[in-house]
Amino acid sequence: MQIKKITGKNYLEALDRVKSELGEDALILGTRTLRRSESLKAVSPQVEITAATDRFPSNPQEFPSEKLFPEEQSSFVETVDEEPELKSLVMTLLNQTERVRAFGIRERQFGLYKNLIDAGVNERLAGKMIERLNAESESSLETPSLFKEKAEMAKLMKRLTPCDPGFKKPKSGPRLVAFVGPTGAGKTTTLAKLAARFSLEKNKKVAIISLDTYRVGAVEQLRVYGQIMNAPVEVASDPDEFQQAVARHRDKDLILIDTTGKNHKDPAYPNRLKQIFSRVEELETHLVLSVAMDEKIFDSVYNSYRSLGIDRLLFTKLDEGVSFGPMFNFALKTHVPLSYFTDGQRVPEDIEVAESERVIRLIFNWNEAKLKAEAIYD
């Protein structure tokens, strides 16, 4: 076993060096803050991590990059994707003041940092964003107030949050939009809300195709909605039936496709969907997730369905959510923009287009008036 002591100007830098030199599987044995008397070369205190490994370093697996992702957001993606398993254990060894120093955060900013962590924002990402604010404020002679720092943090997060509501316009024919995701995420109800919005409110011609031949009552539920909205509902169980159903509704403005909520750990169903979807062109796929789910479930579901090509993230059950930082983390990590939010069972009322301001309000627990008071709107 190889044991090394590695230092950095803060915890994040030292941890990056541990991973670079010893690999992702390195065991963190301890951490401490070095004063200048212990490290004569250090102008300011440094963080020392003692780590061990018995294997060669491995390269971290990252989510794929997409050209549409803005450069500013890309600079934070690696931060979200790299979260060592034992980091939380190490941080418990430090008192509150040392933890602030370890992340390179000024002590007056600990309240802001704690707000972000309590809301579920990734710890390393929160530290990185505060580091960005500090770098941007170095040229100022004034020490910003907590009010101003919160406002600046919200503005930064607003810029970072990828949102692209609505549906893409195809080169020809109707918009084809499929909704995929785990059981219980609310795909069918969400589809009904969108069908009602486009059919009743925007006067668009809508058709619905259900691939859910497993769940009892799913098709009947859609047929009821379809009758109310004057939208035909078809069922397809294989690639040929799906292709034929799409062809029958080429005169529509929008075709919404419902899918079964299968176990996301089983690759068979996503592979089957891929075969079905390959029969048509320009199909747009929205991954439907509930904010009530654990962030690790987000990752697992995304990895299961990513071969389909996920175009948008659609989060449901905001009314049941406790923390909303994971939604921010996940959108930033996957490079996939947010499309819609739902926050109740009413059709079609409880759905809204995804906006970055809404995400910020959820994370900071601000209402719209508070958001305006914090000067988030430019």
Would you state the pLDDT for residue 168? 85
Which pLDDT score is estimated for 284? 95
32, β-bridge pairs: 48
Query: In the chain, what are the domains?
Result: 1-56 (no CATH), 64-162 (no CATH), 175-354 (3.40.50.300)
> In 213-347, where do the E strands start and end?
233-235, 254-258, 283-290, 312-316, 338-342
Give the per-residue pLDDT at 83: 47
Q: How many other β-carbons are positioned within 10 Å of the β-carbon of residue 93? A: 12
Residue 33, strand partner residues: 47
The pLDDT score that the predictor gives to residue 367 is: 63
Write the CB contacts of 344 (distance below 8 Å, at least 6 apart in sequence).
Answer: 319, 350
pLDDT in tens, 11-68: 778 878 888 888 766 767 667 777 654 444 445 567 788 877 754 433 333 333 333 4
- Token pair in block for residue 55: 């294997």
Q: What is the pLDDT of residue 169?
A: 85
What integer pLDDT is reported at residue 60 of this predicted model?
A: 30
Q: What is the DSSP string of 326-343?
A: HHHHHHHHH-PPEEEEE-
The predicted pLDDT at position 353 comes to 94
Q: How far apart are CA 340 and CA 230, in angstroms?
A: 23
* The pLDDT of residue 64: 34
**DSSP sequence for 154-176:** HHHHHHHS-B--S-PPPSSS-EE
pLDDT by residue for the chain (378 residues), tens only, comes to 567 788 887 777 887 888 888 876 676 766 777 765 444 444 556 778 887 775 443 333 333 333 344 566 665 665 555 444 444 544 544 555 565 566 667 777 788 888 898 899 988 888 888 888 887 776 555 666 667 888 889 999 999 999 998 898 888 889 999 999 998 899 999 999 999 999 988 899 999 999 987 766 778 888 888 888 889 999 998 999 999 999 999 999 999 999 987 776 777 889 999 999 999 999 999 999 999 999 999 999 999 999 999 999 999 999 998 889 999 999 999 989 999 999 988 888 899 999 999 999 999 887 655 555 555 544
Q: CB–CB of 313/179 below 8 Å?
A: no
Q: What is the pTM of this model?
A: 0.74
- Per-residue pLDDT, 339: 95
Q: Which two tokens stand for residue 257?
A: 């496709």
